[in-house]
C-alpha cells in the first residue's frame, strides 16, 4: 500500500520551514528527518510511524490509537505506530508530529553519507 500523500503534505506543511528537516522514502512511506534522524514518517500501512524516547514507549503505547512498532517480529522501543484516526484533525497531527520532532532534536546529528559522492 502506498503512503497517504495528503497526510504527507499536511506533515510537510508543519515541518517544511524548520532548519535541518529533510525527507526520505523509507519503510514503504515518507520519513521526515531532523539532522538525519527520523522523527516521523507517513506510513505505507496508514497513519504515522513516530520516534519517541525509548523510556516513554510504554506510556505512549497506552494512549488511544497508538500501538508498538514491530520489526522482524519484535517490538522496537523508541518507535510507535499512530493510527490514521489520531491524526485526522489538525490538532491531533500537530501533537504527534511535534512529539516526534521534539525527540529527534535531542539526538546527535548524523553525518551525511559521502560514500556516494
Query: How much is the pLDDT for 114?
Result: 55
Could you tell me the CATH number of the domain that includes residue 27? 3.90.1150.30
55 within a domain of the structure (yes/no): yes
Query: How much is the pLDDT for 4?
Result: 93
Query: How much is the pLDDT for 1?
Result: 60
47 within a domain of the structure (yes/no): yes
Residues of the chain under the 70 pLDDT cut: 1, 111-117
Query: How much is the pLDDT for 19?
Result: 84
31 within a domain of the structure (yes/no): yes
Query: How much is the pLDDT for 115?
Result: 52
User: How is residue 89 annotated by DSSP?
Assistant: S
Please count the CA atoms within 13 angstroms of the CA of 40 that sit on its side-chain side.
28
113 within a domain of the structure (yes/no): no
Which of 56, 28, 54 has its CA nearest to residue 41? 28
User: What is the spatial distance between Cα 43 and Cα 31, in angstroms, rounded to a whole number?
Assistant: 8
Number of domains observed in the structure of the chain: 1
112 within a domain of the structure (yes/no): no
Query: How much is the pLDDT for 63?
Result: 97
Domain that residue 66 falls in: 5-105
Distance of CA 6 to the CA centre of its chain: 15
10 within a domain of the structure (yes/no): yes
115 within a domain of the structure (yes/no): no
Amino acid at each position: 500500500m502506498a503512503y497517504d500523500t495528503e497526510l504527507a503534505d499536511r506533515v510537510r506543511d508543519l515541518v517544511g520551514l524548520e532548519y535541518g528537516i529533510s525527507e526520505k522514502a523509507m519503510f514503504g512511506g515518507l520519513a521526515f528527518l531532523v539532522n538525519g534522524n527520523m522523527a516521523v514518517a507517513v506510513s505505507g500501512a496508514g497513519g504515522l510511524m513516530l520516534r519517541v524516547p525509548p523510556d516513554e514507549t510504554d506510556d505512549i503505547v497506552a494512549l488511544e490509537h497508538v500501538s508498538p512498532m514491530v520489526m522482524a517480529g519484535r517490538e522496537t522501543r523508541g518507535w510507535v505506530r499512530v493510527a490514521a484516526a489520531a491524526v485526522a484533525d489538525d490538532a491531533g497531527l500537530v501533537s504527534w508530529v511535534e512529539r516526534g520532532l521534539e525527540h529527534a532534536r535531542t539526538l546527535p546529528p548524523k553525518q551525511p553519507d559521502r560514500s556516494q559522492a
